[in-house]
Amino acid sequence: MFEYTDQIGNKIKLKQKPQRIISLVPSQSEFLWDLGLHHQLVGITKFCIHPNQMFKNIERVGGTKKVNIDKIRALKPDLIIGNKEENEKSDIELLQKEFNVWMSDIFDFEDAFKMMLSIGKIVDKEKEAQAISEKIRSSLSNVKNIFNGQRIAYFIWYKPYMVIAKHTFIDHTLNFIGLNNAFKNAERYPEIMDEQIVAANPEFCFLSSEPFPFKEKHLKELQNKLPNSKIVIVDGEIFSWYGSRLLHFANYVEQLKTIL
């Protein structure tokens, strides 16, 4: 019998290494695939789009916020992997009554590394998880404080405008690369009014490609409110996916630096 404690303190017990895994989080699904669990991974969400081969070939069990319990039951998983923020508490509590559910809770890079190493141990891919983690950690040193404290607003939604604030993984990534969140005193994902945007007057604005798909027309609209700000559309997956997608983080940030 194997016993593991997840990142919110729940314990799961497995009789053997899991052979039928369902992942309810895109970044963690990609990580499982990159560990080489192509046959053990039997279920993902409709938002688990990377890599494309996984998305095309693995059964989808709903979304991150609304899972299809019947599909999950039909797949007979011996392990389900979720995340405290991305999945609904009610769905997880229901699944925990029937299945082993391991939950992550990610606020910074160290949490992400712990998640990767913990999952690697559970699925008997410790060396692979260690290699991915070490490669990410090494690359991050190249972009630590690459910016010089410029004030930034990171937008994730439109009508109403919503931005990233403190106690979020994205806020941690911004701080790590040397940016100063203009809304750091707010909590998590606040809605903001036009007058708050103008008053903040950030030097940079990042318009995320997800969850709202910002386009050039949204950029131009915001530019009219903030004529002195440098506004760019950024890859939201780079700043919010905390699995093996982080392998691309440093290179993306270095390229971003050249246009700002």
* pLDDT (tens digit per residue) in 40-66: 999 999 999 999 999 999 999 999 999
pLDDT tens, 193-235?
A: 999 999 999 999 999 999 999 999 999 999 999 999 999 999 9
pLDDT tens, 151-182?
A: 999 999 999 999 999 999 999 999 999 999 99
pLDDT tens, 127-144?
A: 999 999 999 999 999 999
pLDDT tens, 95-123?
A: 999 999 999 999 999 999 999 999 999 99
**What is the structure's pLDDT at 210?**
94
The superfamily (CATH) of domain 2-140 is Nitrogenase molybdenum iron protein domain (3.40.50.1980)
140 exposure class (CB count in 10 Å sphere: 0-12, 13-18, 19+): middle
Architecture of the structural domain at 151-259: 3-Layer(aba) Sandwich (3.40)
* The two domains 2-140 and 151-259 share their CATH topology (first three levels equal): yes
Q: How far apart are CA 252 and CA 112, in angstroms?
A: 18
pLDDT of residue 28 exceeding 90, the answer is yes
Let me know: does 197 contact 225? Beta carbons within 8 Å. yes
| Interhelix angle 169-176/109-122, nearest 10 degrees | 120
**What is the structure's pLDDT at 1?**
85
Please give the model's pTM, rounded to 2 decimal places: 0.94
**What is the structure's pLDDT at 252?**
98
Domain boundaries, the chain: 2-140, 151-259
